[in-house]
């Protein structure tokens, strides 16, 4: 705890911000423009906004929120399908709270619940196992959204369901992986980034090795960083130093929790139950092998095989979440932001999720 | 076999009579007042304050309290922060068919104990039983009546730049204890709810300190929402200092995991006070001398007044300020 207490030391924070500003100025002198960094993770986006770092560095470092919020990157058609899933008979849908207010083309899970559908918010997928045990005559379906951080616990949940020989339990997998989406972003012409602040939580599972492709394939530096103000500043400092020194490498600045090889137990658990599937991303269409789904031998837990859901093309709105998660625009550039789209009446998922970029701007950076 | 509430307990017959006699009267007393359909209060020439609130918290039992204790402390605190001395409370129960009588007894006894300790009488009540599935165990309504002490009147019209903002202790303990106590969430902390009657402490402050402008109990919506409302209602701006706000590490950690902000988490035993800065030490001394206020701290100050729109700002550790708004769209389980 000693170390954690030091992380909030105001003097250290002030010195760190001065050091970051010095490097940012050096970068600007070298390149004639400010550095552009993308924080991949939604929790980083929130922490940058809440700590005031985003505001303090505004003129010196451009911090772009990336595709790291699991709710925000979920394709509109997938959301419609999950809402449609609630309509079947004898079904209990379990979900993380974030999903409840995400609007589909016509309504949200929250509205489906008020219509009488049995939809339950859980804090852990494991809780849905208990619900399945207590309701043997109902089909219990967990909405499996999330990145590498969440996927091991989904695997663990399947493991439990298998151990308990549950016949009425399945997961609707729409999980996403960080590597494929970063590859797509970096191959796209409209995204210009100098370096990445890499997600601490995902890295705990996948390890530093997971990001070697950035260096090998794209000559792109990155720093794995934590979530405290001082850790965020340290991450920015280190990546600016790499850029100034023109070095391309991945630095693990979160060594006390992230190992080079990640967490092999979690990785093996994932490999046991899941394999690569194509996934549709909001604003980016389908990315090949960018998600995980059930292996054929675990088909009895695969809600997508168990239940047929047909939805049409989603209703189009002026929502620009697709561009926001690619870092092309900021929330304030969307005409809906803080007008017709607010957390109470969200139009897109970025305004709903506790990791969403629009929600971060609304909650922490709105002055009116 | 566990004795449980049945629909017949709400029919007004023998079982209702037994329930009132064995559970409510046994704990709440005041037999003479409950012999009539209404409790009779002696006339008073003083100004009265009344406050009512309904409690639907889930789970019913949590570390540091239960729904019954909460129903009494909540109403007592609402009266106390308004400058009134709570005197009597009425209570209404909506019970779910099948609710265990043993649990009801525990809840009712803790209400009686809390009221007794706070010097408040529970003088009237009502019980309804509804079919299983219609409510979540039980809901409680309490209405409190207090006597306004003219000496205790606060002076929000005198709020001026430099006035201090004081919180009586750590933030978010109640909300996080509730969230942790929910069956679905076994991972969190040992944080206990701060649920407590603050009337004695508040009356000491009002008795001894001149210069208290206004006070509120930051329950639902937390400190941030409460202060935003004060700023808007009384047209002043406040700047809080994030580094000065007392929050337990366990609460901070739980909030990090769940994506909550402790400034928006409910408290049930805290008071936020706007006071003349010359009197802030006196307020802190009184608070710190009491167990319920031992972690009290000055957390900010009034920066300007007589604005059309009052704003709540917070200074971050890196020196920037940002505006705090009302709680907006966060998903929290029922906490009070």
Chain B positions in Cβ-Cβ contact with residue A56 (cut-off 8 Å): 318-320
Closest chain B residue by Cα to residue A346: B329
* Residue B53 β-bridge partners: B142
Q: Nearest chain A Cα to B188, which residue? A: A123
Interface-testing mutation among B184, B264, B314, with chain A (most A C-beta atoms within 10 A)? B184
Confidence band, pLDDT 50/70/90 cuts, at residue A8: confident
Please give the structure tokens belonging to residue A206.
Answer: 């996948």
Quick one: pLDDT band at residue A2, thresholds 50, 70, 90? very low
Question: Are A343 and B331 an interchain contact pair (Cβ–Cβ within 8 Å)?
Answer: no
Interval A42-84: pLDDT, tens: 889 999 999 999 999 999 999 999 888 888 888 889 999 999 9
Distance from CA of A359 to the nearest CA of B (A): 10
Instruction: Write the burial class of residue A344 (CB in 10 Å: 0-12 exposed, 13-18 middle, 19+ buried).
Output: exposed
Sign of CA dihedral B117, B120, B121, B126: negative
Per-residue pLDDT of chain B (336 residues; tens, 9 = 90+): 558 888 878 777 778 878 888 888 888 876 555 556 778 888 778 899 999 999 999 899 999 999 999 999 999 999 999 999 999 999 999 999 999 999 999 999 999 999 999 999 999 888 999 999 999 999 999 999 999 988 888 999 999 999 999 999 999 999 999 888 875 555 556 789 999 999 999 999 999 999 999 999 999 889 999 999 999 999 999 999 999 999 998 898 888 777 788 999 999 999 999 999 999 999 999 999 999 999 999 999 999 998 888 999 999 988 899 999 988 765 565 655
Residue A129 Cα, gap to closest chain B Cα (Å): 11
- A345 to chain B: closest CA residue: B329
From B250, which residue of chain A is nearest by alpha-carbon distance? A1
CB contact under 8 A, A366 and B319: no
What residues in A contact B261, CB-CB < 8 Å? 50, 363
φ/ψ of residue A354, rounded to 5? -70, -5
Cα A123 from Cα A108, distance rounded (Å)? 19
B331 closest CB neighbour out of A46, A97, A363: A97
- Confirm whether the ipTM is greater than 0.90: no
pLDDT at B186: 55
Question: What is the pLDDT, as a whole number, of residue B22?
Answer: 87
Mutation for testing the B interface, residue in A347, A354, A366 having most B CBs under 10 Å: A354
Binary contact (B330, A127; C-beta < 8 A): no
The pLDDT assigned to A235 comes to 97
Instruction: Spell out which residues of chain B touch residue A95, defining contact as CB-CB under 8 Å.
Output: none
Per-position b or e across B263-301, b if 16+ CB within 10 A of its CB: bbbbbbbbbbbbbbbebbebbbebbeebebbebbbbbbb
**Percent above pLDDT 70 for chain A:** 98
Query: Residue A122 and residue B249: Cβ atoms within 8 Å?
Result: no
Of all residues in chain B, the one with the smallest CA distance to A94 is: B184
Q: Which chain B residue has its CA at the smallest distance from A360's CA?
A: B259
- Indicate yes or no: CB of B184 within 8 angstroms of CB of A122: yes
Residues in chain B closer than 8 A to A367 (CB atoms): 322-323
| Edge-to-edge strand ranges of the sheet holding B164-167 | B212-216, B272-275, B164-167, B297-305, B236-241, B312-315, B321-324
A157-182 mean pLDDT: 96
A/B interface, count of CB pairs below 8 Å:
79
User: For residue A4, what pLDDT is reported?
Assistant: 47
B184–A124 C-beta distance less than 8 A:
yes
Segment A104-138, tens digit of pLDDT: 888 889 889 888 899 998 888 999 999 999 999 99
How distant is the Cα of A367 from the closest Cα of chain B, in angstroms? 6
Query: How distant is the Cα of B258 from the closest Cα of chain A, in angstroms?
Result: 8
Identity of the residue in A14, A98, A101 whose CB atom sits nearest the CB atom of B319: A14
DSSP string, B34-81: GGSSS------SS-EEEEEEEE--SSSEETTEEHHHHHHHHHHHHHHH
Q: Do A363 and B249 touch (CB under 8 A)?
A: no
Give the gap in angstroms from C-alpha A122 to the nearest C-alpha of chain B.
6
* Beta carbons of B300 and B238 less than 8 angstroms apart: yes
> Among B243, B323, B330, whose Cβ lies nearest the Cβ of A10?
B243
C-beta neighbour count of A343 within 10 angstroms: 21
- Considering only CA atoms, give the Rg of chain A: 21
Instruction: Compare CB distances from B185 to A13, A123, A342 and report the shortest one's residue.
Output: A123
* CB < 8 Å to A98, chain B: 331
> Which of chain A's residues have a Cβ under 8 Å away from the Cβ of B243?
8, 10
Min Cα distance A286 → chain B (Å) is: 29
Beta bridge partners of A252: A224
Three state DSSP letters for chain A: CHHHHHCCCHHHHHHHHHHHHHHHHHHHHHHCCCCEEEECCHHHHHHHHHHCHHHHCCCCCEEEECCCCCCCCECHHHHHHHHHHCCCCCEEEEECHHHCCCCCCCCCHHHHHHCCCCEEECCCHHHHHHHHHHCCCCEEEEEEEECCCCHHHHHHHHHHHHHCCCCCEEEEEEECCHHHHHHHHHHCCCCCCCEEEEEHHHHHHHCHHHHHHHHHHHCCCEEEECCCHHHHHHHHHHHHHHHHCCCCCEEECCCCCCCCCCCHHHHHHHHHHEEEEEEEECCCEEEEEEEEEECHHHHHHEHHHHCCCCCCCCCCCCCCHHHHCCCCCCHHHCCCECCCECCCCCCCHHHCCCCCHHHHHHHHCCCC
Please give the residue of chain A at the shortest CA–CA distance from B184. Answer: A127
Q: Which residue has the higher pLDDT, A263 or B336?
A: A263
* Closest approach of A354 to chain B, Cα-based (Å): 6
- Sort out which chain A residues have CB atoms less than 8 A from B318's CB and list them: 13-14, 17, 51-53, 56, 229, 233
- A145 near A99, Cβ under 8 Å? yes
């Amino acid at each position: 705890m000693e170390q954690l207490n030091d992380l909030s030391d105001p003097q250290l924070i002030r010195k760190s911000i001065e050091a970051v500003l010095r490097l940012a100025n050096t970068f600007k002198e070298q390149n004639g423009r400010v550095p552009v960094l993308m924080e991949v993770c939604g929790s980083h986006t929130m922490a940058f906004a809440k700590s005031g770092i985003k505001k303090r560095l505004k003129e010196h470092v451009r911090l772009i929120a990336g595709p790291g919020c699991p709710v925000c990157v979920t394709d509109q058609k997938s959301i419609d399908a999950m809402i449609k899933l609630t309509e079947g008979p004898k079904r209990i849908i379990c979900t993380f709270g974030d999903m409840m207010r995400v609007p589909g083309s016509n309504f949200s899970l929250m509205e489906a619940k008020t219509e009488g559908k049995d939809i339950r918010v859980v804090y852990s997928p494991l809780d849905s196992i208990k619900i399945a045990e207590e309701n043997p005559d109902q089909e219990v379906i967990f909405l499996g959204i999330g990145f590498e951080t969440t996927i091991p616990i989904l695997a663990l949940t399947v493991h439990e369901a298998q151990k308990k020989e549950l016949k009425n339990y399945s997961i609707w997998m729409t999980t996403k992986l960080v590597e494929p989406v970063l590859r797509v972003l970096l191959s796209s012409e409209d995204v210009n980034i100098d370096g990445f602040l890499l997600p601490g939580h995902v890295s705990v599972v996948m390890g530093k090795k997971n990001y070697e492709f950035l260096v090998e394939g794209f000559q792109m530096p990155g720093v794995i960083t934590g979530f405290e103000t001082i850790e965020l500043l340290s991450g920015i400092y280190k990546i600016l130093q790499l850029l100034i020194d023109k070095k391309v490498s991945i630095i693990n600045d979160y060594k006390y929790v992230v190992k080079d090889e990640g967490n092999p137990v979690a990785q093996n658990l994932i490999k046991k139950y899941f394999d690569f599937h194509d996934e549709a991303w909001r604003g980016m269409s389908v990315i090949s092998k960018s998600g995980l789904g059930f292996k054929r031998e675990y088909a009895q837990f695969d809600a997508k095989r168990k239940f047929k859901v047909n939805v049409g093309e989603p209703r189009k709105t002026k929502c620009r979440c697709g561009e926001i998660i690619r870092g092309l625009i900021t929330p304030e550039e969307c005409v809906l932001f803080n007008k017709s789209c607010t957390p109470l009446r969200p139009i897109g998922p970025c305004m709903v999720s506790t990791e969403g970029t629009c929600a971060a701007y609304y909650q922490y950076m709105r002055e009116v | 076999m566990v004795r449980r509430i049945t629909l017949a307990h709400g029919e007004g017959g023998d079982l209702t009579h037994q329930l009132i006699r064995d559970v409510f009267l046994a704990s709440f007393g005041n037999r003479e007042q409950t012999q009539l359909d209404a409790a009779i209060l002696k006339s008073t020439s003083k100004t009265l304050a009344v406050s009512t609130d309904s409690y639907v918290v889930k789970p019913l039992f949590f570390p540091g309290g239960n729904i019954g204790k909460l129903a009494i402390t909540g109403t007592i605190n609402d009266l106390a922060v308004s400058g009134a001395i709570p005197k009597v409370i009425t209570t209404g129960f909506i019970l779910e068919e099948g609710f265990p009588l043993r649990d009801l007894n525990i809840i009712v006894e803790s209400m009686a104990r809390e009221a007794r300790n706070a010097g408040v009488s529970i003088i009237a009540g009502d019980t309804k039983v509804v079919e299983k599935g219609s409510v979540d165990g039980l809901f409680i309504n309490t209405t409190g009546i207090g006597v306004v002490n003219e000496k205790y009147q606060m002076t929000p019209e005198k709020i001026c730049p430099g006035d201090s903002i004081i919180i009586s202790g750590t933030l978010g303990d109640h909300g996080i204890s509730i969230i942790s106590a929910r069956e679905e969430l076994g991972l969190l902390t040992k944080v206990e709810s701060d649920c407590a009657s603050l009337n004695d402490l508040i009356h000491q402050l009002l008795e001894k300190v001149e210069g208290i402008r206004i006070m509120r109990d930051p329950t639902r919506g937390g400190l941030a929402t409460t202060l935003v409302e004060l700023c808007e209602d009384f047209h002043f701006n406040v700047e809080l200092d994030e580094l000065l706000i007392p929050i337990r590490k366990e609460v901070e950690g739980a909030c990090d995991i769940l994506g909550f902000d402790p400034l928006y988490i409910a408290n049930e035993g805290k008071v936020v006070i706007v006071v003349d800065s010359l009197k802030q030490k006196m307020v802190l001394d009184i608070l710190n001398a009491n167990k319920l206020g031992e972690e009290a701290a000055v957390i900010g100050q009034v920066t300007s007044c007589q604005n059309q729109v009052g704003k709540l700002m917070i200074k971050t550790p890196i020196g920037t300020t940002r505006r705090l708004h009302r709680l907006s769209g966060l998903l929290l389980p029922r906490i009070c």
